[in-house]
Structure 1
Amino acid sequence: MRHQQFSRPSDSHATEHVVAFDIETIVDEEMADGSFPPWPRHRPVAAAFLQADWSTSGYSFDFQTLICLPGEETKFYNEVDRLLPTGVTSISYNGRGFDLPVLQVQAMAAAQFGLEGLAHHTHAHRYGPHHCDLADQFGGYGGTRKVGLSELCAALAIPVKTSVHGADVGTLWRDGDIEAISAYVREDVVATYILWLHWAAARAVDERKIAEPLADLARFLETTPELAHLAAFATCPPTMWARPRALFHRVEAASRDAERRVTRAADERAFSGARPI
């Protein structure tokens, strides 16, 4: 009997409709030795979702931030589910090892079991197309030493963790500084998305995969007043490189499209027997 050969699923991810996300958590009791508490002990207090959608007119964005206030867990997890629809590629940094399992187990604790979007992305195949964990991708699925988001961002001149760090979230939450936590989680999400653009462009061997969405993201940040605290992302080195490159590619594409239209019109006139222009 011949043995059936199994191949690893493709880990090529669609780039037209993606949502980058991140969560911030607290624990009720720190570890006695000061180590990072096991993930089931963490409770989400904030989450942010940056959705990017491509159309022929460019990239559009929607940015949502959630706060999980005491007594509002049901609302929080239903909003998480809504913002992680099944029809997008979800993007995270270590989301497979932390964010998604934390969200799922805490949704269970809140007796929320009908969350299709959260289930879809939590149980997405590690090598499949539905969820892209950049810690896995950049780490070669364990082939290299695992590093934090800030290390990769530093290497690529992406600003991140400029004022707050994850270790500060517990104190900020106890002090009631929800705005600082919200600003921090949004910052991590934008950094994750820009890191994803680097990965997607290098994987596709196509600089348009970073130049065009990054230029559009910069305009979105600059024209959205409530995101003014993220202005550094609109002027960081990758974005300053992307702006003229995006313009170049779009002008080049418009020129090719115009040439095709002229050629098609000439062909149609010739076919109809009309005199050429």
Structure 2
Amino acid sequence: MSDDIVLVFDLETVPDVEAFAAAEGLENHPVWSVRRQMGEKVARQVFQRIVCIGSLRAGRDQAGVWRPQAIDSPSLGQMPEPQLIQQFVDQLAQHRPLLVSFNGHTFDLPVLRYRAMMHRISAPGLAARAYFDRSGSDMVDLCDLLSAQERHARVSLQELARVLDLPGKPPGIDGAHVETMMQEGRVAEVASYCRSDVVNTYRAWLRYELFCGRLERKSFETSEKALADFLAPQS
């Protein structure tokens, strides 16, 4: 276990019509009918199917600078959902990192746990640290933290990115578009979108570390430059 390694992550999901049908006893109903009964609001966590898992791993050097080590956003276009989950939880088991997310306690972690259980996946990496302890410090949920879990103080990642002068999401895309994009076969765009969320979350976390005094100004600026340099060959 080391707080010198951080893993920022984000899930992209679509409604799991089959799971909803099984839960509601609608197995014999047409797919379109079941999907309509799910409604247009975001489906509950247990009825979400993971289509992409984005992550950025960074390490802190002896000077206190955070330097990215890896970034990835594998999707259903590359591997089936069980493999997506297994690859991610194995990374947790290997590095036992500090986890960082935006709204992860409310959404991403519950989805991961439900889907791992549904696919009969052994995921000790999810228990490598007390990631599910909402009052603990092993999983930093910026959405919870910055709002102090006060509903009226919560913001979206896009709103936070804009007020912090970060790039934000690609134009014209948000989580509500992922289902349609997957249906249209735009899997690579979904993966790119997921990656942008991970980068924005990481940069927001660096800003929070500066605010808390855990990063000096110079170390913060060097950490930002290290990220830019790391991403430059990929753009």
Alignment of 1:202-221 (within 5 A): 202-204=211-213, 206-221=216-231
CA distance in 1, matches of 2:138, 2:170: 30
User: How far has the Cα of 1:35 moved from its partner?
Assistant: 2.1
Residues 15 and 89 of structure 1 are in contact (CA less than 8 Å); yes or no, is this contact kept in structure 2? Answer: yes
Aligned position for 2:196: 187
Q: CA deviation at 1:167?
A: 1.0
Say which is worse superposed, 119-128 or 80-89, in terms of deviation: 119-128
How many aligned positions are there? 211
* C-alpha deviation, 1:161, in angstroms: 1.4
Partner residue of 1:36 out of 29, 34, 42: 42
Residue aligned with 1:84, SS: helix
- 2:50 maps to a residue whose letter is P
Q: Which runs of 5+ in 1 are unaligned?
A: 1-13, 229-277
CA positional deviation for 1:126: 1.7
Q: CA deviation at 1:210?
A: 2.4
CA pair 120-202 structure 1, distance change in 2 beyond 3 A: same
1:43 to partner: Cα distance: 0.6
CA distance 1:71–1:89, shift in 2 (3 Å)? closer
Q: Match of 1:23?
A: 11
Q: Does 2:80 align with 1:72?
A: yes
Aligned-pair CA distance for 1:154: 0.8
**Partner Cα distance (1:174, 1:122) in 2:** 36
TM-superposed CA distance for 1:139, in Å, is 0.4
Structure 1 counterpart of 2:51? 45
Aligned to 2:142: 134
Label 1:207 to 1:16 Cα distance change in 2 as closer, same or farther (>3 A).
Answer: farther
The share of aligned pairs that are identical, in percent, is: 26
DSSP-derived class of the 1:91 partner: strand
| Aligned match for 2:116, one of 92, 104, 107 | 107
User: In the alignment, is the contact (CA less than 8 A) between 1:31 and 1:37 conserved in 2?
Assistant: no
**C-alpha displacement at 1:66, in angstroms?**
1.6
> Which residue of structure 2 aligns with residue 91 of structure 1?
100
| Residue equivalent to 1:175 | 184
Partner of residue 20, structure 2: none
Name stretches of at least 5 consecutive residues in structure 2 with no aligned partner: 18-34
Distance 1:61 1:31, change over 3 A: farther
Output the CA distance in 1 between the equivalents of 2:38 and 2:5: 43
Partner of 1:251: none
> Which string of whole-angstrom CA distances, capped at 9 and with x for unpartnered residues, describes residues 120-175 of structure 1?
46744223221100001110132752211111111111111123211111111111
Q: Match of 1:150?
A: 158
Alignment RMSD: 2.3
| Deviation of the 1:71 alpha carbon | 8.0
C-alpha distance 30-84 of structure 1, shift in aligned 2 (>3 A): farther
Shift of 1:209: 4.8
Deviation at 1:214, TM superposition (A): 0.9
Instruction: Using the TM superposition, give the Cα deviation of residue 78 of structure 1 relative to its aligned residue in structure 2, in angstroms.
Output: 1.0
Q: Which amino acid aligns with 2:5?
A: H
Aligned to 1:242: none
Task: Assess, with a 3 A threshold, how the Cα gap between structure 1 residues 109 and 69 changes in structure 2: closer, same or farther.
Answer: farther
Distance 2:76 2:55 in 1: 14
Structure-1-length-normalised TM-score: 0.69
Which TM-score applies when normalising by structure 2? 0.81
Contact map agreement 1:96 1:122 (CA 8 A) in 2? no
Q: What letter matches 2:7 in structure 1?
A: V
